[in-house]
Amino acid sequence: MQFVLILAVMTALVIAENSPAQPVSGALIRLAMAGCGVAIVVGFAAISSGVIARRLRSDVRRRHLLLERFKRLRRFHAGLWLIVAGATAYWLGWGQLVRFNWHLDHAFLLDDILVLAPVLLPLVLSWAAFYEVDRAILAGRTGEGSLQARAPSRLRYIGLHARHYLGLLLLPVLGLLAVQDAAELLLPGVLQSDYAALIHVPPLLLLFLLLPLLLRSVWKTQPLPGGPLRDRLESCARRAGFRAREILVWHTDGMMVNAAVAGFLPRLRYVFLTDGLLETLTDEEIEAVFGHEIGHVKHRHLSLRVMAMIAPLSLWFLLAQMFPQTGNYLQFWLGEGGIATGGRLGLLALACMAAYALVVFGLFSRVLECQADLFACRRLAANWPDESLDTFISALEKLSAANGGNRKAGGWQHASIARRINFLNRLARDPKRELRFQGQVRLLGILVVGIVFSPLAYRLLLG
């Protein structure tokens, strides 16, 4: 969901920034059509979630089948949402309507927030509709008796999703836009100069360093209380040579069963364990998941993921150095249209980045997840693959069941539970296969680093 949301936000901003600087005709009709688009998206979410929620409560035996059907409906909903948001931004000229019909083109951040309204409003209202299904899933996991005591209200549920999805994305995006607006006010014309890119470098570096603090603030967290579980996890961290500032409980009212690690520097690094995870898994299984997160840090996966995301930009810079006329050829090929050539070039770049992220980055992330799985199994016990493998597999199976998923269904950055378990079993039976796998991952990492630094290397070779 995060990836789709990033794509939608960036697309809306690119279209708005490159639209003609003039009002559009028929503003009221356009506004009404935009409202109809929002109603269609939210209406589909309400109808589909209402039907699935009723069937989940009345037919427990078909729970997995119904949840798979609901996943397909949500994928269709995401596609519908993207189409409506894109059509509103492009065909209805939403950016022009906000900035020039409403005379907000010089309003500090307000115009950017309203430009994103066709993206964000239907999403938030759809969460209100999806609440019924997630509540039914929680009832199936905890039982109807305890559900009334711990299920969040609809408003609190929306707030949870807003913190999880919008807080992590919108705060950095709005921060960068605020820097851009401030630069335009204080240094007129700087954004059209050769120094425009340099304006964004300091806030981006600051964002990368302080992202864990942002997560801790946006997500509702508190330190894991002292006790046997914390002692176990701290002992595991010492054995692995892992340092973090804190182990945090991420409060989601039991709606999320997950874990995460964030932070390049030990003093700014946190491990997040959701309340649903702590309630669902045993202490041994929580340690297995904790070991998986340690594996991401010990194998430098955080840095490798960042480099893998910027690798296409590095390739573009390398291509621009080797063939300086590439940009001119692309602009000529794109021709004229409703938005400026730079805007169409930006949309083409976004489409290429989206394809790369879905295919290449997704595959690379799934490989890294398997390496972290292996690290967790090896660190849990001195004798691999005895009880450590069984414990980790049990944790994976419980995570799949708690999240209402099909163990054979994979995700963008995670292979299916069935594939991950089969991978671990194969490596446990064949140590040589493990050596080959680790060697292949190292080669992939070297390739990614090489691509990222290729423009600099090319410049140095040319002298």
Q: What is the pLDDT of residue 331?
A: 56
Whether the predicted pLDDT of 199 surpasses 70: yes
Establish if 200 belongs to a structural domain: no
Whether the predicted pLDDT of 274 surpasses 90: yes
Q: What is the pLDDT of residues 49-70, one digit of tens each?
A: 999 988 888 876 777 788 888 8
- By C-alpha distance, which of 83, 7, 2 is closest to 38? 83
Q: What is the mean pLDDT of residues 105-117?
A: 90
Whether the predicted pLDDT of 190 surpasses 70: no
The single-letter DSSP state of residue 259 is E
Establish if 210 belongs to a structural domain: no
Whether the predicted pLDDT of 236 surpasses 80: yes
Q: What is the mean pLDDT of residues 331-342?
A: 52
Establish if 208 belongs to a structural domain: no
Q: What is the pLDDT of residue 327?
A: 59
pTM attached to this predicted model: 0.84
Euclidean distance between CA atoms 101 and 25, whole angstroms:
9
Establish if 206 belongs to a structural domain: no
Q: What is the pLDDT of residue 185?
A: 78
Quote the tokens at residue 418: 């069935």
Which element (helix H / strand E) includes 185?
Answer: helix 168-186
CB atoms within 10 A of CB 429: 10
Domain range for 450: 282-463
Percent residues over pLDDT 90 in the chain: 47
Q: What is the mean pLDDT of residues 159-163?
A: 87
| Residue at a domain's end among 241, 256, 280 | 280
| Residue at a domain's end among 262, 280, 298 | 280
Domain count, the chain: 3
Whether the predicted pLDDT of 148 surpasses 60: no
- Alpha helices (H) in 270-336, listed in sequence order: 275-280, 283-298, 301-322, 326-334
Euclidean distance between CA atoms 439 and 170, whole angstroms:
38
* Domain identity same for 243 and 289: no
Establish if 139 belongs to a structural domain: yes
Q: For the chain, what is the mean pLDDT?
A: 86
* Domain identity same for 270 and 316: no
Establish if 89 belongs to a structural domain: yes
**Stretch among 149-153, 283-287, 364-368 having the lowest mean pLDDT:** 149-153
* Domain identity same for 267 and 305: no
Q: What is the DSSP string of 353-400?
A: HHHHIIIIIHHHHHHHHHHHHHHHHHHH-SSTTHHHHHHHHHHHHHHH
Whether the predicted pLDDT of 450 surpasses 70: yes
Name every residue whose Cβ is closer than 8 Å to that of residue 191 and which is 6 or more positions away in sequence. Answer: 180, 183, 184, 199
Phi then psi dihedrals of residue 204, to 5 deg = -65, -45
Whether the predicted pLDDT of 146 surpasses 80: no
Q: What is the pLDDT of residue 350?
A: 79
* Domain identity same for 12 and 161: yes
* Domain identity same for 274 and 301: no
341 band by pLDDT with thresholds 50, 70 and 90: very low
The single-letter DSSP state of residue 247 is E
**Stretch among 67-76, 218-227, 314-323 having the lowest mean pLDDT:** 314-323
Establish if 365 belongs to a structural domain: yes
3-state secondary structure (DSSP) of residue 308: helix
* Bridge partners (DSSP) listed for residue 270: 246, 262
150 band by pLDDT with thresholds 50, 70 and 90: low
Q: Which amino acid is at 207?
A: L
Whether the predicted pLDDT of 14 surpasses 90: no
Contact 371, 438 (CB under 8 A): yes
Question: What's the alpha-carbon Rg for the chain, to the nearest Å?
Answer: 24
Whether the predicted pLDDT of 334 surpasses 60: no
Q: What is the mean pLDDT of residues 113-137?
A: 91
- By C-alpha distance, which of 99, 117, 136 is closest to 9? 117
Name every residue whose Cβ is closer than 8 Å to that of residue 13 and which is 6 or more positions away in sequence. Answer: 112, 115, 116, 173
**How distant is the alpha carbon of residue 12 from its chain centre?**
18
Check which CATH number belongs to the domain holding 258 and give it. Answer: 3.30.2010.10
* Domain identity same for 267 and 293: no
| Residue at a domain's end among 280, 305, 326 | 280
Establish if 199 belongs to a structural domain: no
3-state secondary structure (DSSP) of residue 227: coil
Q: What is the pLDDT of residue 144?
A: 52
